[in-house]
Structure 1
Amino acid sequence: MEVIVMRKIYIVSTYTGTVLAHLIRTITRKPYSHISISLDDSLDTMYAFGRINPKNPLVAGFVEEGIDKGLYEIKKNTICRVYSLEIDDDKYEKLKANINKIKSVKSLYNYDLLSLIAIPLGLSRRPEFGYVCSTFAADMLSKSGIALLNKPFYTVQPNDFYNLKGLTLEYEGLLRDYNKFRATYSIDTI
């Protein structure tokens, strides 16, 4: 009998309070405006499309975020929801490879500002080398065989992950307190 090894990945919804985050929150009427993917429970590295320079919202693209890195280092009162999803080892490795593929050619990709307007209006936009945080996360999941969302990746908004069936809510609160929570309440025992 073949043993299937299961691994957890993490989908992290955040709200930083920046002007752009506030605008997204106002339009969607959901509390979170940004989505990241992490392959480990510490969230030391989260992958997304967002600000490359934390102090300049106009310089954006593929980023490796962390609880104490980038924009989150500046925005200490960032609120978050951390969801987990168990997937088999094969899908985990595919996800890791797909993220690394984007990372290896990140200079080819840009932050697709027009999608911030087009997606909420229901306009179809599918740039070859552009993502926003939600389309990046959805595309990486889809390309890895992880079927969570019932829509094309390029139409996905951050709020589509909010209370999404299939995800397990592990934590909600200040992002800076997540690892304290994790140390106190082992996520695997909750």
Structure 2
Amino acid sequence: MSKKVYILLTDTGTWFSKLIGLYTKAKLNHASIVLDEEMKEVYSFGRTNSLNPLSGGFVKEKVFGHLVRAVSRRTECELYCCSVSEEAYERICSQIRHMEHHQHKYKYNFLGLFGVVFNISIERKNAFFCSQFVAYMLQKHGVPIVDKCISQVTPEDLQNCESLELVYAGDLRQKAKNLHLLPMTS
């Protein structure tokens, strides 16, 4: 029996995401792993303090809050899925629970972003940037991602991954409303 794991790519609209977009020229510059169809179990590496963009690490994201702003602008996204064995799914969940429990040990891999820019693999213990984390979680548990070092994986690489199937593209706010994660107001 197999289980679904989802990959959510978003344009968060933060100044940091815009800065990354200047380099990548990509529309979607944030990646998260989603463990459930209702999008209540969303994990990534990003800001741990919304007031300090340089404070980053492992985060459990809320679709409405972290990813969808209270403002009315669209939050573009693409949601992908892949099937994994039940055993692989349980290992992914277990590893994420471990990371969540030891959250203080995990940091955002800012240096790794510079490595991507200069095509140098910079891997640090317990440090990831968002797409590096997603690629690590999938590849470690049997989902082939790309034929390159995980510390070089970008959200665009995830978009182009043949192992992932696109299941939704559009406004994350609308997707969240359909899942009843947001109020149904206009």
TM-score (structure 2 length as normaliser): 0.88
For 1:27-46, what aligned pairs fall within 5 Å after superposition?
Answer: 27-46=23-42
Q: What residue in structure 1 maps to residue 65 of structure 2? A: 69
Q: What residue in structure 1 maps to residue 126 of structure 2? A: 129
RMSD of aligned Cα (Å): 1.8
The reply to whether residue 160 of structure 1 matches residue 127 of structure 2 is no
For 1:1-190, what aligned pairs fall within 5 Å after superposition?
Answer: 5-74=1-70, 77-181=74-178
SS at match of 1:119: helix
User: Could you tell me how far 1:178 is from its partner in structure 2?
Assistant: 0.8
Q: Please give the per-residue CA displacement for 1:39-73, whole angstroms capped at 9, x wherever unaligned.
A: 10111221000011223212211100121133534
Aligned residues: 179
Retained in 2: the 8 A contact 1:98–1:143? no
- What stretches of structure 1 of length at least 5 have no aligned partner? 184-190
- What stretches of structure 2 of length at least 5 have no aligned partner? 181-186
Q: Distance in 2 between matches of 1:95 and 1:146?
A: 11
TM-score (structure 1 length as normaliser): 0.86
Retained in 1: the 8 A contact 2:144–2:163? no
SS at match of 2:84: strand
